[in-house]
Structure 1
Amino acid sequence: MISVNKALAIIKSHTTARLLEISSLKNVNGHVLGEDVFSEINLPPFRQSAMDGYAVSGSKSLSFKVIGEVQAGSNINITLKEGEAVRVFTGAPVPKGTTRVLMQEHVEEVNGVITYLKDSFGKNNVKETGEQIKKGSVALSKGTLLNASAVAFLSGLGIKDVSVFKMPKVSILVSGNELQAPGEALENGKIYDSNSIMLKLLLQKIGVQNVEVVFVGDSKHEITTTVARLLEDSHFIIASGGISVGEYDLIRHAFEANSVEEKFYKINQRPGKPIYFGKKDEVSVFGLPGNPAACFINFQVYVLPALRRFIGIENTNGFKKATLLESISNPTGKSLFLRAKVTGNTIEIFKNQSSAMLQSLIDANALAYIPEDTAVCDKGKEILYLDILQ
């Protein structure tokens, strides 16, 4: 049995593989850039009006003769002379010779002549060529998480495809003769499965859509052959249940039978002590407890950072600090992960911490972390916590 910090270090050292793919912009939201993207154009690509108004030439007079109009998208070739103006609209190219654009609200037009109604000129209201980004400059750097704004920015540069870190194929393996699917009449001695849908939804939260959920009974042969198949077709296997030491806890045996190299088994923590991590070639294999809250907590603490590293996110949301509202004792000699709520810089520890109960996680936004060598944390003391994905 190892410490929390040792387990995190082992997982980190074995989940650094990267897979790159070229993908269309329409498919990359939530992905991470696999290489720098350089702009192939100036943005804006021409001198551009920042507003509706009049492009004028000169600064010696406040009156200008209007000689034409330029709309957005127009390629009319006009050169302004001193004292001349053209009507322009937001985003339109300004004519050669333009010194500024006068806001239409500040102008009066009479018989084809405009007069500026202020005493002096302010901003020139012209977006210069390459003002936002110049051709050849880095538009977005490798490692950038692509959200809607980032994708729109790349689209505005005329970029169609980018190199991104590939999302993993994840297999969720749920074992236990006692499990039934929701919606069926509950049989005596059975319970409804909740872990598979919980894990799948959490995976979707970070953009992992290629998820297979497989249910197996407590049969050594069935579990072993199922693991063999999943190892051929997955980047991650996340097993729920069957990882403890009972007679029918067969997952660890199935991993061993399929030559998965065990990196650790059991962590000195509560809840969720029975947790497994192993590797076979490039496949990361996790065995999580069957108790729903313990399964949720171990996914947040150990699996989620590994998944994020795989898809290119190096900053995997480490521990933060907040001030305790009430004192906490830890007589267990184990590290504790406690359901909690962080508000501002304070943290409230929830009363119900049963490893089998998800209900107390509904309002939680954090997991308070009490190290194994800490017996008491007094009210007002700063403690570590992890933000949780919900």
Structure 2
Amino acid sequence: MVTIEEALRIIEDQKITLNRETKPLEASLSHALATNTASPFDVPEFDNSAMDGYALGGLYQEYQLVGEVAAGDSKDIVLQDGEAVRIFTGAKVPQNTSAVMMQEKTSVKERTLFLDEKPKAGQNIRKKGGQLVEGQAVFEKGHMLNPPSLALMGSLGLSTLEVFSKPRVNIITTGNELVKPGESKTEGQIYESNSYAIAGALRQFGFHHHQKIQLRDDLEATKAGVETALNSCDVLIISGGISVGDYDFVKQSLEENGVDELFYKVFQKPGKPLYFGRKQNQFVFALPGNPASSLTCFYVYVLPLLQKLSGYQEYGLPTYQFPIKHPYENRFGRPSFLKAAVIDGKVEVLDGQGSSMIQSMAKGNALAFVEDGEKFKEGDLMKCKLIS
């Protein structure tokens, strides 16, 4: 058995090989860049108007209107002193523009423009290179592409990006008692839910499963299922069958499929019977079958490895500290990840902490971490990982 810190360090220390691929811009969300990126030109490429209004030649309160410039116009206008043109947001400002006045502070009579106030030099003009200059670093290798990142890359004219490939993930669930939702069940059976939780958590963080396999508690079937799953994935996530019961065949099946154990069992609650192994460049997590345990282990242990394999600069859910709304003492006898809700900057430990109880986890948005025997008074800071 290992501690939480030892388990995380073993995962962190795994040597990996990152694969690269070129993807269309629109398909690059949540991928990590495989190269450093610099701006190929100034952004903006030209001085332009920050709003709809009037481009002004000189700083006065009365001008002669001489034309109009719309966004995208390529005509080259030179303003003389005392002249103005109607201009629209994003349009290139004419040469000799001193300022742009928003239209709400103007009035026009015939061809004369009147301003409600005197303009200030340079106001409402987006200057060439004001955001980026040619050659300036934009993103470093490993930057995870979010929607604003895609917008910026698109503004640089990049239609494809070189990114790190994401790991292929397969999911196995085990249990004679499990029935797929929508099918009929008999007394003693339950509907299978862990694969849906794991697949949803994968999508939540930009990953996808390649294959889902459901197995009965049978040694030969489990061995064959593991072999099949390993043929088409980089990371295999197994739910259930990893404890020490008479019908728990996962650990033996992994050994017989050539998977080397890196750790088994973590001193924590929930999720003590957690397994992590490796077969060459493939990784296997065998998670406990109880729903809350399974999902907790995904957030704490599986997610950091998936992000590491994807070339992210940072991985794992960040830890924050929030004042607790009520007294609390950890009496579980182990360091614990607690289902919690962070609301208005304060954390509440929820009822229903049993490892089989998923309802409280569904209503919460955080995992609070407490050491064995740790006590909290109202207002004390508690460590939390936000999961939604």
Q: TM-score, normalised by structure 2?
A: 0.92
Counterpart CA distance in 1 for 2:25 and 2:229 is 30
**Matched residue, 1:387:** 385
- Residues 135 and 253 of structure 1: CA distance in aligned 2, closer, same or farther (over 3 Å): same
How far 1:279 moved relative to its partner?
Answer: 0.8
Structure 1 residue 320 displacement after superposition: 3.0
Counterparts of 2:365 and 2:129, CA distance in 1 = 43
CA offsets, 1:131-153, max 9 Å, x none?
12112112233333322222112
1:96 matched to which residue of 2?
A: 95
Could you report, residue by residue, the CA deviation over 1:159-200 in whole angstroms, capped at 9, with x for unpaired residues? 111122222211111112221111122123322111111111
**Counterpart of 1:31 in 2: which secondary structure?**
coil
C-alpha displacement of 1:17 = 4.3
- Tell me the equivalent position of 1:321: 321
Q: Structure 1 counterpart of 2:65, which letter?
A: V
Which residue does the alignment assign to 1:30? 30
Cα separation, partners in 2 of 1:174 and 1:70, compared to 1, 3 Å: same
Deviation at 1:205, TM superposition (A): 0.5
- C-alpha offsets along residues 303-326 of structure 1, whole Å, 9 cap, x if unaligned? 122222222151422433334422
Q: Which residue pairs with 1:335 in the alignment? A: 335
Distance 2:164 2:224 in 1: 30
| CA distance in structure 2 between the aligned counterparts of 1:57 and 1:113, rounded to whole angstroms | 13
* Aligned residue number for residue 304 of structure 2: 305
Residues 45-124 of structure 1 aligned to structure 2 (within 5 Å): 45-59=45-59, 61-119=60-118, 121=120, 123-124=122-123
Contact 1:300 1:388 in 2 (8 A): no
- Output one character per residue of 1:36-91: Cα deviation in whole Å (capped at 9) or x when no partner: 221112221112122222223234x5433322222211111222222322222221
Q: Partner residue of 2:42?
A: 42
Paired amino acid for 2:288 = P
Unaligned runs of 5+ in 2: none
RMSD: 2.2
Distance 2:320 2:61 in 1: 59
- Give the whole-Å Cα distance in 2 for the aligned partners of 1:304 and 1:265: 18
Going from structure 1 to structure 2, the CA distance change for 1:73 and 1:259 (only over 3 Å counts) comes to: same
Question: Aligned equivalents of 1:383 and 1:6: distance in 2?
Answer: 24
**Could you tell me whether the CA contact under 8 Å between 1:16 and 1:310 is conserved in 2?**
yes
Distance 1:347 1:331 in 2: 19
Find the counterpart in structure 2 of residue 131 from structure 1: 130
Partner residue of 1:164? 163
3-state SS, counterpart of residue 11 of structure 1:
helix
The residue identity in structure 2 corresponding to 1:370 is V
Q: Which moved more, 1:240-249 or 1:216-225?
A: 216-225
Superposed displacement of residue 5, structure 1? 1.1
Kindly indicate whether the alpha-carbon contact (under 8 Å) linking 2:367 and 2:387 is maintained by their aligned counterparts in 1: no
Q: Is the 8 A contact 1:15 1:284 kept in 2?
A: no
| Distance change in 2, residues 1:91/1:375 (3 Å) | closer
Amino acid aligned to 1:64: Y
Over 3 Å counting, the alpha-carbon distance change for 1:314 and 1:78 in structure 2 is same
- For residues 335 and 273 of structure 2, the distance between their equivalents in structure 1, rounded to whole angstroms, comes to 13
CA contact (8 A) 1:317 1:386 kept: no
Change (3 A) 1:89 1:369: closer
CA, structure 1 residues 271+104, in 2 after alignment: closer, same or farther (shift >3 Å)? Answer: closer
* CA deviation profile, 1:340-373 (whole Å, cap 9, x unmatched): 22335543222322222212212222223233xx
Distance in 1 of aligned mates of 2:379 and 2:101: 59
- For the Cα contact (< 8 Å) 1:56–1:84, is it kept in 2? yes
Give the 3 Å change call, closer, same or farther, for CA 18–385 of structure 1 in structure 2.
farther
Q: Contact 2:49–2:125 (CA<8 Å) still a contact in 1?
A: yes
**What is the rounded CA distance, in whole Å, between the counterparts of 1:387 and 1:9 in structure 2?**
18
Corresponding position: 1:249 with 2:268: no
In 2 relative to 1, CA 383–271 (structure 1 residues): closer, same or farther, beyond 3 Å?
Answer: farther
Paired residues of 2:16 and 2:281 also in contact (CA < 8 A): no
Distance 1:232 1:78 in 2: 65
The residue type equivalent to 1:352 in the other structure is G
Structure 1's 187 and 117: CA in aligned 2 closer, same or farther, altered over 3 A? closer
Deviation at 1:330? 2.5
Q: Once the 2 structures are TM-superposed, how far is the Cα of residue 335 of structure 1 from its aligned partner?
A: 2.1
In 2, the alpha carbon distance for the partners of 1:252 and 1:27 equals 37
Q: Residue 362 of structure 2 aligns with which residue?
A: 362
Contact kept? 2:179, 2:190, Cα under 8 Å: yes
Structure-2 separation of matches of 1:389 and 1:299: 11
Whichever residue aligns with residue 20 of structure 2, its letter is L
- Taking structure 1 as the reference length, the TM-score comes to 0.91
Per-residue CA deviations over 1:109-130 (Å, capped at 9, x if unaligned) read: 3342333343454653222111
**In the TM superposition, what is the alpha-carbon distance from 1:216 to its structure 2 partner?**
1.4
* Shift in alpha-carbon separation, 1:260–1:101, aligned structure 2, 3 A: same
In the aligned structure 1, how far is the partner of 2:343 from the partner of 2:57? 56
Contact 2:273 2:287 in 1 (8 A): yes
Conserved 8 A contact 1:102-1:124: yes
How far is 1:287 from its partner? Answer: 0.5
- Tell me, yes or no, if the aligned pair for 1:32 and 1:143 is still in contact at 8 Å: yes
Between stretches 213-222 and 260-269, larger displacement belongs to 213-222
Which secondary structure state, in structure 2, belongs to the residue aligned with residue 65 of structure 1?
strand
**Range that drifts further, 31-40 or 293-302:** 31-40
Give 1:238's aligned residue: 237
- Measured in 1, the distance between the counterparts of 2:51 and 2:350 equals 54
Aligned length: 386
Residue number in structure 2 paired with 1:296: 295
Q: Does structure 1 conserve the Cα–Cα contact (< 8 Å) formed by 2:299 and 2:317?
A: no
2:79–2:94 CA contact under 8 A, matched in 1: yes
